[in-house]
């Protein structure tokens, strides 16, 4: 846990810098052992409700819309128009920044191809650029685009359902996947509780179970093939198909997440006294089936934060497909790519030669320019787009959270000051995020490197670049 003085200095420095940069800015904190207290309050609220809804909404009166995660609505308070002083940049700032960043960007650890873009968020002015529009393999920094598109298409309060529907006599149930990659055993338990209760109310003690994962189309496997970094992309899964009880990072994955989730659900019903008359099998839910029980994901705002903080590939692909469904595109890799592109176009951002072949960044066919990443981050800070704030609140914090928890050591003094999304593939390293400079300006940056000889030296070089933005 952070010492009180360290916490106060870190949080205070960032808060003061953001105020100077944007006029009226607040942090998403406070931090407590690496977790936002707001996120803990949300988790406690989830435990109280159980995450399940017994019976169709009509049976309980008007449906209540779920509230967004408390940490999501505003990391940046509405800017309301930056003060004139904030809009005026000091003379020679860009030149000074160039002298500082140029040698760092030339570090051999960044390989033979590297691009960069740094902008002042309040004015949109570019302060430093090196091939900023050059299409590069973005690795996981592409998740910034995926999350912006999802929030823009669906809104931060959107929640993804997983539903149990029943035939006319309720002796045949179908578990219907809505595409919620965050579904876990805890929520399946709550869903089984509600289902067993509903069956008991009808005097039913034995049922047959099917499962419907037909919401998605196209290939189930990511183009990289079976991989510990991602499960088959299907509309029904539990615990992300993990076979080792982990909750993040690489792990052995199930080859049939939908079937496994249905088996777990059937076992949970047995534990509650319901006899299962046949092994669960895949099927499409009957058109006349009625909802019997339902569980919802956390609000999209919270899912976005988790996706970015932990670089969760399964959630990223899930939210890309939710975006496709919102755009009336097929819920496939290709459909999701088109939907993300359409949303970014609607936001009038500089796509250039961007290409989105997946939502997670595991594909080497993805292409993004550094300038698009900084534009996406700046749009997330735009007072006219508060729905995009979770993109900023979800960025890992240097030395504290997510994929940056173990980075920014003593030789790179920027702990708590840099918030950034990492990107790592073999030979590819990237970093894109925000930092407050010594003058109190909020900067958005993106550094993309290809043909890097080794990951660790490349990551350290990227950390130094981002840290340099906040120095005097």
Active site residues: 140, 143, 311
Q: Could you give the CA distance from residue 398 to residue 463 in angstroms, rounded to a whole number?
A: 9
Using the structure block, give the residue that is written with the tokens 């009625």. Answer: 290
What six digits make up the tokens of 36? 């936002």
User: In Å, what is the CA distance from 383 to each residue of 15, 119, 152, 379?
Assistant: 17, 17, 14, 8
Q: Could you give the CA distance from residue 14 to residue 7 in angstroms, rounded to a whole number?
A: 11
Q: Could you give the CA distance from residue 284 to residue 330 in angstroms, rounded to a whole number?
A: 17
Q: Could you give the CA distance from residue 432 to residue 443 in angstroms, rounded to a whole number?
A: 11
Cα 262 from chain centroid (whole Å): 26
CB 440 within 8 A of CB 16: yes
Q: Could you give the CA distance from residue 94 to residue 17 in angstroms, rounded to a whole number?
A: 19
Q: What share of the chain is helix, strand, coil (3-state, %, to 5)?
A: 40, 20, 45
Q: Could you give the CA distance from residue 370 to residue 129 in angstroms, rounded to a whole number?
A: 9
User: In Å, what is the CA distance from 288 to each residue of 173, 272, 336?
Assistant: 12, 27, 29
Report CA torsion sign: 269, 274, 278, 283. Answer: negative
């Amino acid at each position: 846990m952070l010492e009180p003085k360290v916490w106060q200095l870190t949080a205070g420095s960032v808060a003061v810098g953001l105020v100077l940069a944007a006029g009226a800015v607040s942090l998403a904190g406070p931090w407590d052992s690496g977790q936002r207290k707001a996120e803990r309050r949300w988790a406690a609220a989830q435990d109280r409700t159980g995450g399940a809804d017994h019976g169709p909404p009509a049976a309980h009166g008007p449906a209540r819309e779920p509230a967004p995660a408390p940490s999501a609505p505003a990391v940046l308070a509405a800017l309301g128009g930056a003060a004139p002083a904030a809009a005026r940049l000091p003379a020679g700032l860009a030149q000074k920044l160039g002298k500082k960043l140029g040698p760092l960007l030339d570090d051999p650890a960044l390989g033979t191809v590297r691009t960069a873009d740094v902008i002042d968020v309040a004015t949109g002015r570019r302060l430093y650029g090196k091939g900023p529009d050059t299409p590069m393999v973005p690795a996981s920094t592409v998740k910034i685009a995926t999350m912006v598109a999802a929030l823009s298409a669906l809104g931060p309060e959107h929640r993804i359902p997983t539903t149990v529907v029943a035939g006319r006599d309720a002796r045949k149930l179908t578990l219907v996947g809505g595409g919620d990659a965050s579904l876990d055993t805890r929520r399946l338990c709550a869903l089984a509780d509600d289902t067993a209760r509903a069956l008991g109310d009808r005097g039913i003690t034995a049922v047959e179970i099917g499962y419907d994962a037909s919401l998605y189309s196209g290939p189930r496997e990511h183009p990289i093939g079976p991989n510990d970094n991602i499960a088959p992309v299907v509309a029904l899964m539990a615990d992300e198909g993990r076979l080792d009880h982990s909750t993040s990072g690489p792990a052995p994955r199930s080859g049939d997440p939908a079937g496994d989730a249905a088996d777990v659900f059937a076992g949970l019903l047995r534990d509650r006294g319901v006899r299962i008359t046949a092994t669960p099998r895949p099927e499409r839910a009957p058109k006349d089936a009625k909802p019997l029980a339902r569980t919802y994901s956390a609000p999209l705002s919270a899912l976005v934060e988790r996706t970015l903080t932990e670089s969760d590939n399964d959630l990223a692909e899930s939210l890309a497909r939710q975006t496709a469904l919102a755009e009336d595109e097929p819920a496939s890799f290709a459909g999701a790519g088109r939907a993300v592109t359409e949303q970014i176009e609607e936001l009038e951002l500089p796509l250039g030669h961007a290409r989105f072949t997946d939502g997670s960044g595991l594909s080497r066919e993805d292409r993004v320019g550094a300038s698009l990443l900084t534009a996406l981050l700046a749009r997330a800070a735009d007072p006219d787009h508060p729905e995009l704030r979770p993109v900023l609140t979800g960025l890992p914090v240097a030395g504290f959270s997510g994929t940056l928890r173990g980075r920014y050591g003593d030789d790179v003094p920027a702990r708590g000051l840099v918030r950034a999304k990492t990107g790592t593939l073999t030979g590819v390293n990237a970093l894109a995020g925000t930092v407050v400079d010594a003058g109190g300006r909020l900067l958005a940056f993106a550094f993309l490197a290809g043909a890097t000889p080794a990951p660790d030296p490349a990551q350290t070089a990227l950390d130094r670049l981002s840290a340099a933005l906040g120095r005097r």
